[in-house]
Structure 1
Amino acid sequence: MQDLSWKTLSSEYLYKDTWFTIRKETAQRQDGQIVTPYYVYEFPTWVTALALTEDGKVVMERQYRHALAETNYEIPGGCVDDTDPDLEAAIRRELLEETGYSFEKYEYLGKTSSNPSTNNNWMHIYLATGGRKVQAQHLDQNEEIEIYLFTIDELKQLLRENKIIQSMHVTAIFYGLARLGELKY
């Protein structure tokens, strides 16, 4: 296979903030062509989970997303914090904070990127099972999240009706359904 990687010739930060950083780069392709400017958006690492209760219900969130001015269903997840010792600890924390549920088992299903042409981060996907409600939600200041429980069949119907619009969450749901034997392809 041909090496298609680019060599970074220069890189300059244009904006740095906690949740969004952008840099402008000049790169050189393998054939020598210079690509400039090339913008890279830096985001924190993300984790998410298809989370099931002890009785097999899917824990879903409903929340408003200001960029689209839409309120929709999503699966739980969020950013990996510097204080999280690993990815599984991050998804455990996010699930407990956002939903109030604790889960018996976590299975890593892989990772995906929202847009590898511009974004430099990964979203790591888990299947969490054996969930029990153990506490109230502990939401961040900017979070307002409603929790809903759906059967697997109801979740599939939400997908068919395009009621889950967060593309990486749809991807994670499909990986989870496949692992559960609920998706045939």
Structure 2
Amino acid sequence: MDWKLVNSEYLYKEPWLTLRRDICETPAGVTVNPYYVLEYPDWVCVMAVTADHQVILIRQYRHAFGTVLLEIPGGVIDPEDPVPLDAARRELLEETGYAFEQFYSLGAVSHNPSTSTNLTHMFLATGGKYVQAQQLDANEEIEVLLKDVNEVEQMLKEHQFVQALHVSCLHYGLEKIKELRADMNRGE
């Protein structure tokens, strides 16, 4: 079922967004021209839980959507980040001022594999402690909120989160928390 790439041409190339136009051929011999592909760097997002069992949420303005949204910490994996986990640690510290004892990988998801090349690597971080002031980019204004795990679960049920990648991470994070609690109850 894989398509054959016949030709590829970059139309726009910037660090945050690259657009290319491909010409492809399907196994049935159908030419697909043009097929537009967006190239982004990979991203991370983190369901972060403090040492006193509070989930860290953030509020920030999202220009494309035109409003302030409730989200979880995360961002782009920089070239200086050797692995996604390093980006998760960095983003948490920069956006929230918290450092974490334990990280659990929750897998990776694509926001739209039909048009985009990148993945979002999801993590659950636990044991967070406030260690420094936020270190935000010049264009960032981020409000940090702390919510109980049960409250966040209810907020999900009420559709209070718009960012689909963050919704995925929160669902996987809540599953992992339940798994960790069950392991503790069994004495593992």
TM value normalised by structure 2: 0.93
Task: Classify the secondary structure of the residue corresponding to 2:178.
Answer: coil
Q: Does 1:78 align with 2:75?
A: yes
Q: What whole-Å deviation, never above 9, does each CA across 1:166-185 have from its counterpart, x for those lacking one?
A: 00000010011111118xxx
Letter in 2 for 1:99: T
8 Å contact 2:58–2:73 — kept in the other structure?
Answer: yes
Q: Which residue of 2 aligns with 1:23?
A: 20
Moved over 6 A (4+): none
Which structure 2 residue ranges, 5 or more long, are not aligned?
Answer: 180-188
Q: What whole-Å deviation, never above 9, does each CA across 1:3-31 have from its counterpart, x for those lacking one?
A: x1111100000001111110000001111
Q: Which residue of 1 aligns with 2:182?
A: none
Q: Does 1:173 align with 2:170?
A: yes
Q: Which residue of 2 aligns with 1:93?
A: 90
Q: Which residue of 1 aligns with 2:159?
A: 162
Q: Does 1:104 align with 2:76?
A: no
Task: Classify the secondary structure of the residue corresponding to 2:113.
Answer: coil
In structure 2, distance between residues paired with 1:104 and 1:176: 16
Q: Give runs of aligned pairs for residues 78-157 of structure 1, distance below 5 A.
A: 78-157=75-154
Query: Given the alignment, which residue of 41, 47, 57 partners 2:38?
Result: 41
Letter in 1 for 2:148: T
Q: Which residue of 2 aligns with 1:8?
A: 5
Query: Given the alignment, which residue of 41, 50, 59 partners 1:53?
Result: 50
8 Å contact 2:153–2:174 — kept in the other structure?
Answer: no
Task: Classify the secondary structure of the residue corresponding to 1:83.
Answer: coil
Letter in 2 for 1:173: L
Letter in 1 for 2:133: A
Q: Please report the RMSD computed on the Cα atoms of aligned residues, expressed in angstroms.
A: 0.9
Shift of 1:32: 1.1
Aligned length: 179
Letter in 1 for 2:175: A
Task: Classify the secondary structure of the residue corresponding to 1:180.
Answer: helix
In structure 2, distance between residues paired with 1:151 and 1:172: 16
